[in-house]
Amino acid sequence: MKMPSSEYYISEIARMKAEKNAIILAHYYQTGDIQDIADFVGDSLALSQKAASNNADIILFAGVKFMAETAKILAPGKKVILPDINAGCSLADSCKPVDFRKFKDNNPGRTVVSYVNTSVEIKALSDIICTSSNAVQIVESLPLDEKIIFAPDRNLGNFVLNKTGRDIVVWNGTCHVHEEFSLEAILKLKKENPEAKIIVHPECELPVRMVADFIGSTSALLKFTQKDTGKSYIVATEVGIIHQMKKENPDKLYFPAPPKDSTCGCSECNFMKLITMEKIYNSLLNEKPEIIINKNILIKAQKPIKRMLEISAKLGI
Ligand code: 13P
Ligand code: SF4
């Protein structure tokens, strides 16, 4: 049987979106074709802000499960669909509720600041959520003497600890994309392209962060390339973001930071890349897989996310 063309998928997706009053929210790590059909493309903070305020009946999330769950928690009355339910996150998986409960018990009296890259259960065990766009400001919003647990990303946690000087105990989790960048290969690339600025996501390991000209969330990296007068960049985060960078500044050069294993294509998040145009089409057609969250846990997880959104709104982030 002949596969439908991408034009067919694109026009049918647009037709179904209008018919069903659906919107597509896409993360910067999606492939370029998916970013281009989305109603809104953003980082995890902007996507949760958008999920909390829109008039759609259906949100199709082109991203990973924790992002779709966050959308459902913020818009419980809407149908939230994720085109591939296996689109997880190695970082979220590195923090299991049973282990995290023990960790909390071993570190009593600490405020739990969790990265949005966590399961609903971990969010429900947290006092406040953050994303890579606001992690430093969220921690700084807490009283100076407050003792903190930061979970699950050890690199982002240590980045926040160094920036704020706060008393933070960090959970030992990592992301399979960001811990794979090779310092040696980045420095080699820099030697070949000395004018290129090294721009780095805070989930990267310390040696990579140490050689960065700029460190920031995906949207901060994008803004940096837009405003900066430089002409080329070595980009140490998932390669999907380069699609937006090229769209905004097509004349500049963007080099994906090489991974330690040059044969593995590890600068792509294989969970993000499970989402395809065909799966988006099928998902919108059948209105599934749907994100369903137990009401009690949803209410518990909603509180720390709303706290993050309130603080971010106050700070204008
Ligand atoms: P952002 O907060 O920059 O969107 O990052 C999300 C993420 O999954 C990073 O790996
Ligand atoms: Fe999770 Fe890493 Fe993929 Fe981001 S890039 S969704 S942290 S596995």
Nearest-angstrom CA–CA distance, 297 and 60:
22
How far is it, in rounded angstroms, from Cα 62 to Cα 87?
Answer: 10
pLDDT of residue 263: 79
Q: What is the pLDDT of residues 191-205, one digit of tens each?
A: 999 999 999 999 999
pLDDT value of position 262 = 80
Residue among 45, 67, 214, 217 to mutate when testing ligand 1 (max atoms within 8 A of CB): 217
Q: Kindly state the tokens that stand for 229.
A: 């007068």
Q: Which residue shows structure tokens 């106050």?
A: 314
The closest-lying atom of ligand 2 relative to the alpha carbon of residue 66 is 6
Chain CA centroid to CA 166, Å: 24
- What's the pTM value of the predicted model, to 2 decimals? 0.95
Structure tokens at 133: 């766009």
CA angle 13, 19, 25 (to 5 degrees): 50
For tokens 């966050």, the residue is 70
Packing angle, helices 65-74 and 44-52, rounded to 10:
30
Ligand 2 atom closest to the Cα of residue 67 is 6
- The closest ligand to the CA of 238 turns out to be 2
The binding-site residues of ligand 2, defined as CB within 6 angstroms of any ligand atom, are 64, 89-91, 117, 175-177, 238, 269, 271-272
At 279 the pLDDT is: 98
Distance from the CA of 116 to the center of ligand 1, in angstroms?
A: 9
pLDDT at 63: 98
pLDDT digits (tens, 9 = 90+) for 23-37: 999 999 999 999 999
Cα atoms found within 13 Å of the Cα of residue 17, Cβ hemisphere only? 18
* CA of 241, nearest ligand number: 1
Ranges of the chain whose pLDDT falls below 70 = 1
Q: What is the pLDDT of residue 264?
A: 77
Name the closest ligand to CA 41.
Answer: 1
pLDDT at 168: 98
DSSP string, 16-56: HHHHHTEEEEEETTS-HHHHHH-SEEE-HHHHHHHHHS---
